[in-house]
Structure 1
Amino acid sequence: MPMSFVYVVEDGSKMSIDGGCLKITYKSGEVSKMPKETVEAISIFGNSQMSTQCTKFCLEKGIRVSYFSKNGSYFGCLLSTGHVNIKRLKKQIFLSEDKDFCVKLSKKIIQAKINNQLVVVKRYLRNSNIDESDNLFQISNARKKVIEAESVEQIMGYEGTASRYYFKILSDLVETDFKFSGRNRRPPKDPFNSLLSLGYTLVMYELYGELESHGLNPFAGFLHQDRENHPTLASDMMEEWRAVLVDSVVMSLIQGHEISIDEFYYDEETGACLLKKDGMKIFLSKMEKKLHSEAKYLSYINERMSFRKAIWHQVRMLSRTVDLGDVEQYKPITIR
């Protein structure tokens, strides 16, 4: 039976359990139902309600409920404690202080990230007459330097260089209305960065939930520096998925004219560029379709699977890496 990831974007919606179904009653009076045993996760955007019975059901079944603002800022999640693995947590904290382990794992993650960035831009360059040879050289050169790096700080420096030239190419390629000047965030200042930020947030907290369900602490990372209230391990895992999942979805939406510049507005107080409600629905639908699509990108599994299942396998692989304290156990996601 196919599993359901539920997105609630209508303010004033109410979720409850009705017999064997999860029931969503919208402010308009419209009702939708789905078999409750098919629900795997729920994401709530804006102001909606969940009954106590529905909350208890989600906790009993380990269904993650994530809460976002209507614009996609993450607030937190409802998650049971049945996932706690104290031995794994202790090992994770110990390894997060091991410089050699952190450098070796960080190299694998960032080499994979830069590889995936190169693959994505080269796909779009096939149908373009733009000469990006200099920018491609800079990205490839940064990837080579990652191999020689002796510290996490050096690795992140080369990652920053590669990303700068990567986004330069994307800006050259993207439709005129969506051109942008580099990556910007907190808040995003243009439609392209607005889509990126929303996509990264969604995937980040999908990883967050998987890390917790595998007994890992999302806040104790190996690549990113410790920051209060920031899930650094989720950020670590996010790196190799950025181009694969989010950047490719954003480019597909724009280049395929599935979303228009009219779907965005600017917040007068913060200057943030944000999606309107219908644009949010378009983006969430596209992301969910991507996460359900199948491919064979995991080198250690000889079968096609959805990207969501691949994320599960990657977190499982990281858990094994932590348990054994062996970086060689970890095989990053690399696309071709």
Structure 2
Amino acid sequence: MSYLYVNEQGARIGVDGGYITVQMKNDLLRKIPSETLENISLFGNVSITTQAMQRCLKLGITLNFFSSNGRYYGHLTPTARCRITRQRKQFAITGEDNFVQAFAREILGAKIHNQKVVLKRYLTKQTPEILEAVKQIENAERKLCRCESLDAMKGYEGIAARYYFAALSEIIEPDFKFFGRNRMPPKDPFNSMLSLGYTLLMHEIYGLIEGHGLNAYAGFLHQDREKHPTLASDLMEEWRAVIVDSVVLSLIQGHEIPIDGFQDDHETGGILLMNDTFRIFVRKYEKKLRSEIRYLQSEGRQSYRALLNQQVLLFAKAIDEEDPEIYKAVRIR
């Protein structure tokens, strides 16, 4: 199954027989067999006909709507995905401390572990500052595993994140140097790419959560926030470094993306990807999700996208059986 991203401003999505069509402003027409599509994401001034929307709903194709700079607006998804019995359990379990703490320890421990592995993969120099950062990340990982409260776990997660991003800033190409994680709006090209990637990943997981009958807004780690899918944020944590950070680092260190491929957003004061840079990023992101790895807890190779689905399904099983030990987060080597 394929994912379609449309960010050409003024493009129009329609339907022609068994195909979903994308009509560009320059009259270039692209046709994709509708049966091969699983998800379509529209960015900015992209229109879609009623007939195309109906086709997507009939075939179970999710439509995601974003601003031109990647801000998420919402989605159109088929009915019949809600499983009320599972959701009742989900809401009840969010108040059970034992479940929440066990789940948090597993997810956040994996997040820190994966940050450490990604950082080490890109280390080309070992300055005292970088060696200290690695030491502090490993220390936070050990201490988090022994924590008995969610607040303490989040504290060690925060410590690890600060050292992780500080070390990344030291090892990336000088033109892309940044000063800590910043967002809403991102203030530099590195953070701009992170924010876009995290947005795409969050709403990919959002769709999987709905597909397995769960409620994306009833989370466990993150505090309830109106209009924010906290469960998607929870289940994304183990994947941030593995997928998005790795994509951004690969683009920068491989000189695949130019520093002049970004522009100021005069409305927000942030930094945005220009159209060509956006396309480079999305192609790289999709290639990553389609790439296969040998996962520690399964035989054979699986794509990252298949693993995302597997993890959401595993979490749904943990909810059904009210057993947090069922959920095992992905830890890369």
Asked if residue 291 in structure 1 is aligned to residue 289 in structure 2, the reply is yes
Query: Which of 316, 320, 329 in structure 1 is aligned with 2:326?
Result: 329
Alpha-carbon offset, residue 82 of structure 1: 1.4
1:104-123 deviations in whole A, cap 9, x for unaligned? 10000001001100100111
Number of paired residues? 332
1:243-268 deviations in whole A, cap 9, x for unaligned? 00000000000000000110111122
Residue 8 of structure 1 is matched in structure 2 by 6
Query: Which of 309, 314, 326 in structure 1 is aligned with 2:311?
Result: 314
Distance 1:14 1:168 in 2: 43
Asked if residue 302 in structure 1 is aligned to residue 302 in structure 2, the reply is no
Distance 1:79 1:41 in 2: 10
Residue 47 of structure 1 is matched in structure 2 by 45
Residue 187 of structure 2 is matched in structure 1 by 189
Distance 2:113 2:3 in 1: 30
1:289-326 deviations in whole A, cap 9, x for unaligned? 10110002251x21211111110111000100100000
Distance 2:62 2:267 in 1: 32
SS in 2 for 1:34: strand
Alpha-carbon offset, residue 73 of structure 1: 0.5
Residue identity in the other structure for 2:57: L
Which stretches of structure 1, 4 residues or more, deviate above 4 A after TM superposition?
none
* Contact 1:298/1:310, CA 8 A, preserved across alignment: no
Distance 2:149 2:136 in 1: 20
Residue 163 of structure 2 is matched in structure 1 by 165
Residue 86 of structure 2 is matched in structure 1 by 88
Alpha-carbon offset, residue 198 of structure 1: 0.4
Superposition map of 1:144-159 within 5 A = 144-159=142-157
Distance 1:200 1:298 in 2: 24
* Contact 1:136/1:165, CA 8 A, preserved across alignment: yes
SS in 2 for 1:260: coil
Residue 201 of structure 1 is matched in structure 2 by 199
Superposition map of 1:132-281 within 5 A = 132-281=130-279
Over the residues paired in the alignment, what is the CA RMSD in angstroms?
0.9
1:156-179 deviations in whole A, cap 9, x for unaligned? 111000000000110000000100
Further displaced range: 129-138 or 91-100? 129-138
SS in 1 for 2:122: helix
Alpha-carbon offset, residue 152 of structure 1: 1.2
Distance 1:82 1:34 in 2: 26
Residue identity in the other structure for 2:291: S
Distance 1:221 1:68 in 2: 23
Residue identity in the other structure for 1:65: L
SS in 2 for 1:103: helix
SS in 2 for 1:221: coil
SS in 1 for 2:247: helix
Distance 2:88 2:296 in 1: 28
SS in 1 for 2:68: coil
Residue identity in the other structure for 1:130: T
Distance 1:60 1:21 in 2: 14
Alpha-carbon offset, residue 204 of structure 1: 0.3
Residue identity in the other structure for 2:251: L
Alpha-carbon offset, residue 129 of structure 1: 4.3
* Contact 1:107/1:155, CA 8 A, preserved across alignment: yes
SS in 2 for 1:261: coil
1:7-26 deviations in whole A, cap 9, x for unaligned? 00111111111111111111
1:202-241 deviations in whole A, cap 9, x for unaligned? 0000000000110011110111111111111000011000
Residue identity in the other structure for 1:263: G
SS in 2 for 1:76: strand
In structure 2, relative to structure 1, the CA distance for the partners of 1:316 and 1:298 (3 Å cut) is farther
Overall identity of the aligned pairs, in %: 52
In structure 2, relative to structure 1, the CA distance for the partners of 1:19 and 1:269 (3 Å cut) is closer
TM-score of the two chains, using structure 2 as the length reference: 0.98
Distance 1:119 1:42 in 2: 32
Residue identity in the other structure for 1:88: R
Distance 2:108 2:295 in 1: 17
Distance 2:319 2:8 in 1: 40
SS in 1 for 2:308: helix
Structure 1 unpaired stretches of 5+: none
Residue identity in the other structure for 1:310: L
Asked if residue 99 in structure 1 is aligned to residue 111 in structure 2, the reply is no
TM-score of the two chains, using structure 1 as the length reference: 0.97
Structure 2 unpaired stretches of 5+: none
Alpha-carbon offset, residue 130 of structure 1: 3.2
* Contact 1:16/1:54, CA 8 A, preserved across alignment: yes
Alpha-carbon offset, residue 128 of structure 1: 2.4
Asked if residue 79 in structure 1 is aligned to residue 96 in structure 2, the reply is no
SS in 2 for 1:319: helix
SS in 1 for 2:278: helix
